[in-house]
Amino acid sequence: MSVRIRSTLAAVALLSASSAFAFNLGDAANAVSGMAGGGTSQVATTPQTSGLLGALTGQLGVNQEQAVGGTGALLGLAKNKLSGGDYSQLLQQVPGLDKLSGSSALGGLGDLGGASKSLLGNVGSMGDVNKAFGAMGMDQSMTGKFASVLLDYFGKQGVSSNLLGSLGSLWGVGG
């Protein structure tokens, strides 16, 4: 059995055993397909990031590239607008999250066009986030839905309520 298959199986076992990862078999299959060679294999490097992407695809019905791109846009805004200490705290609480933020998410976007990729490289406002979502085939209403799933997930990972509040304010949703 190859190392890649063993690590994929170990990640699935870890995800299914943890109460913080509440997703069904379809979501687990999506996470495995991403780890085993799908479009997000370059960014799904930790159980936390795989769980987050699984939550987004399962709860919102988006594909893996949209989950990575939407998360990248919102995290890019957080990286550019939060204090360095707050953003560092977020990265410490959710290992691997840095691989999903802003231009770091570009490697997992597969065949999305250059326009959506270039939008992720410089997210400075919610208007930029909305443009990135539009370029990925999602409407503006999805930004709030993504933000809510991210905040819920981050809370389950132990992110402080103060930081969740700051993110909620930045993203225009309750924290």
The domain ranges of the chain are 1-175
| Rounded average pLDDT over 156-175 | 91
How do residues 91-112 score in pLDDT, each as one tens digit? 999 888 888 875 545 444 444 4
Q: Which pLDDT score, from 0 to 100, does residue 26 have?
A: 37
38, pLDDT greater than 60? no
Alpha carbon of 32 to those of 8, 44, 45, 47, 80: distances in Å?
Answer: 6, 10, 12, 11, 31
Average pLDDT over residues 87-92: 93
- Rounded to an integer, the average pLDDT of 158-172 is 95
Residue 48's pLDDT band, with cuts at 50, 70 and 90, is confident
- Residue type present at position 66: Q
Amino acid letter, residue 84? G
Residue with the larger pLDDT of the pair 29 and 100: 100
Confidence at residue 45, expressed as pLDDT on a 0 to 100 scale: 59
User: What tokens appear for 5 in the block?
Assistant: 């298959």
CA 146, CA 67: separation in Å to the nearest integer?
8
Which pLDDT score, from 0 to 100, does residue 66 have? 92
| pTM recorded for the entire structure | 0.69
